[in-house]
């Protein structure tokens, strides 16, 4: 089975996903992926540059803002540096999830220093502040 393609910052987004997104198809795809990872943390994930298996369901495709030199790419680069991983690495979801929690979500200010400019920042920050333990629950 091919590993799931996941750009680095989506390992953070997954912790805050509450069924909101760019379209019904996008939300359904993200929910399906999240449930699969919840069911089997041993699933392999390929750390991907540019569009991934989440972007595949985006109504706009891989938009300029999500392409290599856009804002999302900046989030990816910062995430990679924090996680200590590189593009092309393949790890289990358990490993990636745990790294995201330890290296980003449990470090005050780290998440916002990576993706504070995202349009969903308020949603994620609300989840973080209001219910940290739930937000950090291993998915
Ligand atoms: S602010 Fe945006 S990029 Fe950051 S975790 Fe939330 S949805 Fe993902």
Phi, psi of 133 (to 5 degrees): -65, -35
The domain total for the chain is: 1
Distance 54 CA to ligand 1 centre (A): 13
What pLDDT was estimated at residue 76? 96
- Beta partners for 46? 5, 90
- Determine the residue of 10, 14, 16 to mutate for testing ligand 1's pocket, defined as the one with the most ligand atoms within 8 A of the Cβ atom: 16
The pLDDT of residue 20: 86
Return mean pLDDT, the chain: 88
CA dihedral 70, 41, 37, 48 (to 10 degrees): 20
Judge whether residue 41 has pLDDT over 80: yes
Ligand 1 atom with minimal separation from the 114 CA: 4
Q: In what order do the strands lie in the sheet with 44-47?
A: 4-6, 44-47, 90-92
Is pLDDT above 60 for 27? yes
The percentage of residues in the chain with a pLDDT greater than 70, rounded to a whole number, is: 87
pLDDT tens profile 50-92: 889 999 898 877 665 576 568 899 999 999 999 999 999 999 9
Retrieve residue 121's tokens: 């920042």
Q: Which domain holds residue 94?
A: 4-135
Q: Is the CB of 26 under 6 A from ligand 1?
A: no
């Amino acid at each position: 089975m091919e590993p799931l393609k996941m750009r680095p910052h989506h390992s953070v987004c997954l912790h805050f996903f509450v069924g909101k997104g760019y379209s019904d198809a996008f939300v359904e795809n993200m929910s399906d992926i999240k449930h699969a990872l919840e069911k089997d943390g041993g699933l392999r994930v390929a750390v991907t540059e540019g569009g991934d298996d989440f972007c595949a369901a985006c109504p706009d495709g891989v938009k300029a803002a999500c392409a290599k030199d856009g804002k999302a790419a900046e989030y990816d680069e910062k995430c990679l540096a924090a996680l200590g991983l590189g593009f092309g690495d393949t790890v289990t979801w358990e490993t990636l999830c745990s790294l995201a929690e330890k290296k980003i979500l449990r470090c005050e200010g780290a998440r916002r220093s990576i993706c504070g400019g995202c349009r969903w920042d308020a949603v994620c920050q609300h989840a973080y502040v209001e219910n940290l333990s739930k937000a950090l629950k291993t998915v």
